[in-house]
């Protein structure tokens, strides 16, 4: 590794003095929990994505939980989704006592395959929860068309998708408008913008938005902002079971500054993704991520798929030995130990049938994507020198593995 290049991480949040000053301002104000900064962040976020309402919460998992509750998901219901996602997607369904019904993904987009949704619908199906995986918009139009036929709500797990766009009725619109019924975002440090942690729920349904605001603060009937500003004594009540899902004003103040940076961040990430495309295109057996003509990704992650039979761990270890951090392909919830106990279905087979955990016949694309895909470093501050080095090390090690494997050594003949 070149002495001029330090260890390259998988991601680094793009933050600076503006975020530090915003946090300091709130700390010195004396009001640090959910308050005026949260309200301002919500209004600015709703305007950014084109939604009528935005409700800030403590993280995206909580956002998904509240979204499912709002559309009426209850114990015994089923929610169609993907296993190929961070485990929070499936977990949020289980929090409601419902069963996640996993359908397979499209190998090109790593998103739910809409052609498989209808066959997974049963008389217990209550909602469809799609994921915009790694910031790549899923096929919302096809999904929503099916959902409307069966009168099912569509929730978007847009944890990674702030700044991504979709062509809708001839116009480019932001993910989060929402195009389904509710969209949920994450502000974890691995995401495009961050508040340290946090989440946002967007919807055009006023009643749902009001419900989110009650639930996120223990079901409290009177918000803090109203009670603190009142000229008369007000006692709040708690008419329903709620949760502690609040965002702090410190986080919101940081989020407001991050939102200002969003166009610059997305532009830079698209530039770096285009460079990866160009540099890695000469490996014919390597599958690069592609955007459908109706989608624009924010490139939250850059995911490459190795040739069949290539050792994912071997490539990742070689990259790490060279000072480059990578991550495996997106996990599959049904393969995790927790889901050997939690209830789930693959649409056709049930957990108590012959469908083996970690080798589900109905989810082959999901499993192959996890086993053969690698996420390469991608972050705003990445230099072209760093990216060139990543390209050099990646190609060298993939070529070595393929050339030493009798089944793979035809793959990289054109790599210089």
CATH class of 17-260: alpha beta
- pLDDT recorded at residue 414: 42
Parallel, antiparallel or unpaired: strands 154-157 and 182-186: parallel
Average pLDDT estimate for 370-389 = 97
The pLDDT of residue 355 is 62
Structure-model confidence comparison of residues 296 and 225, the more confident one: 296
**Rounded Cα distance, 268 and 245, in Å:** 32
Residue 349 CB coordination number (10 Å):
14
- Asked whether the beta carbons of 343 and 332 are under 8 A apart, the reply is no
What is the rounded CA–CA span in Å between residue 201 and residue 226? Answer: 22
Longest dimension (CA), the chain: 81
Q: What percent of the chain has pLDDT over 90?
A: 83
Report how far residue 203's alpha carbon sits from residue 403's, in angstroms, rounded to the nearest whole number.
52
- Say yes or no to pLDDT of 412 above 90: no
Q: Taking residues 24-47, what's their average pLDDT?
A: 96
Question: Band of the pLDDT at 1, cuts 50, 70, 90?
Answer: very low
Please list the residues that pair with 129 across neighbouring strands: 155
Residue 108's pLDDT band, with cuts at 50, 70 and 90, is very high
Whole-prediction pTM value? 0.93
Domain ranges of the chain: 17-260, 262-403
Helix axes 36-49, 249-280, angle to 10 degrees: 30
**pLDDT score, position 350:** 52
Mean pLDDT calculated for residue range 234-256: 93
**Mean pLDDT confidence for 150-172:** 98
pLDDT at 349 over 70: no
Q: Do domains 17-260 and 262-403 have the same CATH topology?
A: no
CB 201 within 8 A of CB 63: yes
- What's the mean pLDDT in 339-347? 91
Instruction: Determine the pLDDT at residue 91.
Output: 98
Instruction: Find the mean pLDDT for residues 241-249.
Output: 96
Q: What does the pLDDT read at residue 5?
A: 58
Judged against a pLDDT cut of 60, whether residue 301 lies above it is answered with yes
Average pLDDT, the chain: 92
Give the pLDDT band of residue 222 (cuts 50, 70, 90). confident
Using CA atoms, how far residue 37 sits from 25, 191, 239, 254, in Å, is 11, 21, 26, 9
Is the pLDDT at 411 greater than 90? The verdict is no
Helix (H, G, I), strand (E, B) or coil at 376: strand
What pLDDT does residue 406 have? 53
Q: Does domain 262-403 have CATH number 3.40.50.2300?
A: no
């Amino acid at each position: 590794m070149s002495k001029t290049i330090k260890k390259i991480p998988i991601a680094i949040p793009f933050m600076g003095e503006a975020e530090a000053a915003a946090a300091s301002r709130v700390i010195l104000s004396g009001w640090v929990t959910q308050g005026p900064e949260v309200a301002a962040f919500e209004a600015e976020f709703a305007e950014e994505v084109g939604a009528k309402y935005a409700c800030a919460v403590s993280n995206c998992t909580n956002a998904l939980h509240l979204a499912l509750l709002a559309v009426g998901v209850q114990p015994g219901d089923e929610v169609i989704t993907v296993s190929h996602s961070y485990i929070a997607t499936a977990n949020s369904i289980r929090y409601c006592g419902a069963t996640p019904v996993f359908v397979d993904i499209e190998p090109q987009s790593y998103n739910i395959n809409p052609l498989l949704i209808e066959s997974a619908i049963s008389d217990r199906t209550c909602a469809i929860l799609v994921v915009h995986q790694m910031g790549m918009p899923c096929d919302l139009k096809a999904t929503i068309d099916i959902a409307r036929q069966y009168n099912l709500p569509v929730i978007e797990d847009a944890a990674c998708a702030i700044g991504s766009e979709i062509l809708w009725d001839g116009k480019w619109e932001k993910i989060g408008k929402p195009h389904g019924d509710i969209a949920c975002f994450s502000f974890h440090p691995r995401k495009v913008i961050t508040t340290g942690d946090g989440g946002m729920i967007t919807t055009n349904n006023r009643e749902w938005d009001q419900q989110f605001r009650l639930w996120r603060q223990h079901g409290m009937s009177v918000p803090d902002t109203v009670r603190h500003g009142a000229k008369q004594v007000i006692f709040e009540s708690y008419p329903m079971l709620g949760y502690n899902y609040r965002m702090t004003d410190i986080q919101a103040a940081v989020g407001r500054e991050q939102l200002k940076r969003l166009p610059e961040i997305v532009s830079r990430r698209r530039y770096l993704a285009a460079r990866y495309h160009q540099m890695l295109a000469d490996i014919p057996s390597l599958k690069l991520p592609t955007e459908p003509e109706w989608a624009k990704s924010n490139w939250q992650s850059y995911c490459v798929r190795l040739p069949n039979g290539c050792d994912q761990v071997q490539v990742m270890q070689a990259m790490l030995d060279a000072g480059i951090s990578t991550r495996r392909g997106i996990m599959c919830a049904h393969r995790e130990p927790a889901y050997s106990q939690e209830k789930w279905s693959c649409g056709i087979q049930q957990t108590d049938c012959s469908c083996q955990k970690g080798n589900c016949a109905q989810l082959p694309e999901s499993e192959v994507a996890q086993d053969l895909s690698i996420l390469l470093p991608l972050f705003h501050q990445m230099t072209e020198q760093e990216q060139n080095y990543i390209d050099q090390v990646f190609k060298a090690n993939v070529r070595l593995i393929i050339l030493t494997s009798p089944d793979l050594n035809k793959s990289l003949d054109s790599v210089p």
